[in-house]
Amino acid sequence: MKEQAAIFKKTYEDYLAEIAKIDLTTLPERLGVSVDGNEVTIPFFGILHKVSAAGIADPSGAKPNHAICVVLSKYLLMCPTSEPDGDEWAAYQDFEDAAPFADAYRKNVEQSIAISFGGKLDELKQACKLLNGGTPKGINLPYDLAMWFVPLHRVPLFLLFNDGDDEFSTQCKVLFEKRAEKFLDMECLAMLGMFLTDYLKTAANI
């Protein structure tokens, strides 16, 4: 445990050192963040986090858990210099570098949501509303529920859910825009899916 804590601390400090080198004035338009001096405010699932070379803080001023720190750091550090193409939706496993994480993503995100909310469609709908999930307009899909979320301004998620019946098991997909790979690496994209899963379960008291 001490060794892991030391690794997390070193990783965190390395990210802060890299963030200190960024020209923050270029970020608001490209990432949907706000900048005040040397501090960046990033909405993460609607919760404002402050990031600077001095540290990362949630609304209470506390340091978030390590996974959130990694995702927010990568979001700033990977910011593309030009607008990437690829606004079509893609399954996680379809990304070129997703293979090492694909099985875990399927189990810990899509299968986990399906198992947790099978036979509980109303509970899932309510949990989505609590997380400010939006219903896509003008899109008619053959799913019991289709909701999109914005964990980060440039990396939305699309949840597709079909409840099970006597013939078919419950099915769930959590998709990304294809260009998401330009804003976060595969490990961080998987983390976003896992955060969504955890937040939905918490909202539904599961």
Report mean pLDDT in 10-residue bins for the chain, 206 residues: 82 96 91 95 97 97 97 97 92 96 98 97 96 80 92 97 88 97 98 98 94
pLDDT of residue 72: 98
CA distance 15 to 28: 19
pLDDT of residue 168: 85
CB atoms < 10 A from the CB of 54, how many?
12
Can you give the residue ranges of every domain in the chain? 2-77, 89-203
Return the DSSP state at 148.
E
| Angle (deg, nearest 10), helices 66-77 and 186-203 | 130
pLDDT of residue 125: 95
pTM over 0.75: yes
CA distance 34 to 91: 30
CB 183 within 8 A of CB 111: no
pLDDT of residue 5: 81
